[in-house]
């Protein structure tokens, strides 16, 4: 049986403008310029550049204000343009514009430098052109394989997938044998190890090329020969550093195993990194959102607004609105003119909102970063990691009066430039840990000490998590073994067995 009833619910919904503001707050300075350009293209009423001081706005009223409309319809259709223009003028006698009050007016270069260089794919294709292949078809297969090699220099796609790619993209029916034939040629290219399908194959290819480069025939006990044997037959034991098992299985001495390991460690696990424009060698530029300078012992915070150009309302749109307003004093606007007035007003309102949102973004960024600066003042003054205090999002939220989610958005993907390097804002936030004296210390401090202990340990006998826990407790930190393991993983440091060296 169907029944109807009334109920009241209190719901909180975000307006589209609030959602857009949160998105603006979250993006870093490096991508803010792109967002502004998108808005400039979408809204013709928004303009970029400094204001024209000589172009003064005049009141849309005048003698026409004395005229009284006879009908209510006329009053409704006029959209109160006089009041709207008066309100607009009161906001700023020159124009509604974005002003930046959070920097020292220092000019930053708006163009991020871009390194012009050929990629390692170009490097491989040049070598492909020098290889004697039977026909143009095999060259295209080679180009497809090279295009499938990732930034580390590995071919992650299997031959069947490459066959499908060739069929769909170039209408070439290739066989698996042809793919492997061309791949074998590519694996002889520079840098050594390129085109390998896994780490094991990558290392073996490099050792093979070293062995072939030797003028004289190597003995069976040569570290390169033994190293290749270990990689081919005992790769699992090698990767897990089961040194005693390798010694026993290979029937070699500890000295021989050390020489073999030294030979293998000379190899490059990411072959593309050795080529300009490839792998980890690619240059990435970090654009800081904040700059902290030390001015004769006093820290000064500025907001980097190099990607936030001057924004203002387009004067032509204001003049168009004024002309319609003046015209309707003499003659009633037509339906098309009324539609134009609605369109212009909407675009001006949208431009005003966007400028306000950028202003609010800058004010919120500055307010949040200033609170972080005051909280971590000693660090920003000295650069000593040990002076970092435990700080969570709630601490900054309480200082600034901003919501925790707002502080989180500011901290996300933002960087601050200091005398001691450019730091990620999130790195200043950490939980607290009690020492034996009952004082709260930052987990960053504990991680730095833990990292120092592991770096300076005897690699022949690396310290277990239990031993690391004991050493930290001796230094006065109350910490459990599981916490040590968690911090070690966060520092990207492997377990003791995998840190072992001969």
415-418 and 290-295 strand pairing: parallel
Residue 152 counted as domain residue? yes
Which residue among 410, 429, 448 closes a domain? Answer: 429
Q: Is residue 45 part of a domain?
A: yes
Is residue 393, in this structure, part of any structural domain at all?
Answer: yes
- Identify whether residues 411 and 333 lie together within a single domain: yes
Looking at the fold, whether 174 and 37 belong to one and the same domain comes out as no
What's the CA gap between 146 and 155, in Å, rounded? 8
pLDDT at site 53: 40
CA distance 339 to 248: 89
Residue-wise pLDDT for 328-385, tens only, equals 666 676 778 778 888 888 888 888 888 888 888 888 999 999 999 999 999 899 888 8
* Structural domain containing residue 241: 198-276
Dihedral sign (CA 412, 415, 416, 420): positive
Instruction: Judge whether 348 and 45 are in contact, CB under 8 Å.
Output: yes
Residue 226 lies in a domain: yes
Quote the pLDDT of residue 117. 57
Measured distance CA(89)–CA(93) in Å, rounded: 5
Half-sphere exposure of 199 toward its Cβ, with a 13 Å CA cutoff?
11
**Shared domain check, 70 and 30:** yes
At residue 197, the 3 state secondary structure works out as coil
Single residue among 276, 307, 336 that ends a domain in this structure: 276
Q: Give the pLDDT confidence of 29-50 residue by residue, as tens digits.
A: 878 888 888 888 888 888 876 5
Are residues 349 and 291 part of one domain?
yes
Domain contains 248:
yes
Examine residue 10 and state whether it is found in any structural domain, yes or no: no
Contact assessment for residue 316 and residue 348, using Cβ atoms and an 8 Å cutoff? no
Question: Is the domain of 296 the same as that of 376?
Answer: yes
Last residue of a domain, one of 189, 217, 235: 189
Statement to judge: residues 179 and 205 lie in one domain: no
Provide the b/e sequence for 327-363 (b: ≥16 CB within 10 Å): ebbeeebeeebbeebeebbebbebbbebbebbbebbe
Residue 489 within any structural domain of the chain: no
70 assigned to some structural domain: yes
Output the pLDDT for position 50.
59
Residues 388, 300 within the same domain: yes
Number of domains in the chain: 3
DSSP 425: G
**Cα(226)–Cα(250) distance, rounded to whole angstroms?**
9
Same-domain pairing of 329 and 399: yes
| pLDDT score at 88 | 56
pLDDT per 10-residue tile (average), the chain, 502 residues: 69 64 80 85 82 37 40 49 57 48 50 58 89 85 92 92 91 92 93 93 94 80 92 91 90 91 91 66 72 88 75 83 72 76 86 87 91 92 85 91 89 88 87 71 83 89 90 86 89 85 76
Please answer whether residues 25 and 410 qualify as being in contact, where contact means their C-beta atoms are separated by less than 8 angstroms. Answer: yes
Q: What is the pLDDT of residue 230?
A: 94
417 and 299 in a common domain: yes
Write down the pLDDT at residue 12. 54
The pLDDT of residue 15 is 63
Specify whether the backbone of 79 is left (phi greater than 0), alpha (psi in -120 to 50) or beta.
left
Look at residue 62 in the predicted model and tell me its pLDDT.
Answer: 39
Residues 162 and 206 in one domain: no
pLDDT at residue number 145: 94
Q: Quick one: 419 and 320 in the same domain?
A: yes
Same domain, 45 and 67: yes
**Contact of 212 with 242, CB cutoff 8 Å:** no
| Structure-block tokens of residue 200 | 């094991």
Q: How many residues in total does the chain contain?
A: 502
Q: Are 293 and 287 in contact (CB under 8 A)?
A: no
């Amino acid at each position: 049986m169907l029944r109807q009833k009334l109920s009241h619910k209190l719901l909180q919904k975000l307006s589209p403008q609030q959602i857009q503001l949160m998105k603006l707050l979250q993006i870093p300075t490096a991508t803010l310029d792109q967002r502004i350009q998108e808005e400039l293209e979408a809204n013709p009423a928004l303009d970029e550049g400094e204001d024209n001081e000589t172009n003064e706005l005049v009141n849309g009223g005048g003698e026409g204000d004395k005229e009284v409309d006879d009908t209510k319809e006329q009053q409704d259709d006029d959209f109160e343009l006089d009041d709207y223009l008066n309100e607009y003028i009161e906001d700023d006698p020159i124009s509604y514009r974005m002003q930046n009050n959070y920097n020292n007016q220092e000019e930053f270069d708006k163009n991020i430098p871009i390194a012009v260089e050929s990629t390692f794919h170009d490097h491989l294709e040049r070598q492909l052109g020098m290889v004697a292949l039977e026909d143009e078809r095999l060259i295209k297969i080679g180009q497809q394989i090279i295009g499938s090699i990732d930034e580390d220099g590995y071919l992650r796609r299997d031959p069947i997938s490459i066959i499908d790619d060739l069929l769909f993209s170039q209408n070439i029916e290739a066989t698996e044998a042809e793919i492997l034939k061309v791949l074998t040629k590519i694996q002889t290219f520079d840098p050594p190890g390129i085109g390998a399908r896994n780490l094991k194959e990558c290392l073996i290819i490099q050792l093979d090329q070293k062995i072939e480069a030797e003028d004289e025939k190597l003995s069976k006990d040569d570290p390169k020969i033994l190293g290749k044997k270990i990689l081919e037959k005992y790769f699992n034991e090698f990767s897990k550093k089961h040194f005693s098992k390798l010694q026993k299985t290979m029937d070699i001495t500890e000295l021989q195993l050390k020489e073999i390991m030294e030979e293998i460690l000379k190899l490059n696990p990411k072959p593309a990194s050795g080529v300009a424009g490839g792998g980890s060698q690619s240059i990435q530029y970090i654009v800081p959102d904040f700059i902290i300078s030390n001015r004769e012992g006093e820290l000064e915070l500025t907001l980097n607004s190099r990607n936030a150009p001057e924004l203002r309302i387009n004067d032509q749109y204001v003049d168009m609105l004024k002309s319609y307003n003046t015209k309707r004093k003499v003659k009633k606007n037509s339906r098309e003119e009324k539609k134009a007035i609605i369109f212009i007003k909407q675009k001006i309102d949208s431009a005003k909102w966007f400028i306000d949102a950028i202003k609010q973004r800058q004010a919120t960024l500055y307010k949040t970063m200033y609170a972080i600066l005051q909280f971590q003042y000693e660090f920003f003054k000295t650069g000593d990691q040990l002076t970092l205090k435990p700080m969570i999002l709630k601490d900054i939220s309480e200082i600034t009066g901003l919501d925790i989610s707002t502080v989180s958005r500011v901290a996300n993907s933002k960087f601050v430039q200091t005398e001691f390097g450019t730091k990620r804002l999130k790195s200043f936030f950490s939980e607290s840990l009690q020492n034996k004296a009952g004082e709260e210390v930052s987990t960053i401090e504990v991680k730095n000490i833990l990292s120092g202990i592991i770096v300076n340990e005897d690699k022949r006998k690396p310290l277990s998590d239990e031993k690391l826990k004991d050493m930290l407790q001796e230094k006065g930190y109350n910490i459990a073994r599981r916490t040590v393991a968690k911090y070690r993983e966060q520092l990207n440091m492997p377990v003791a067995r995998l840190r072992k060296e001969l």
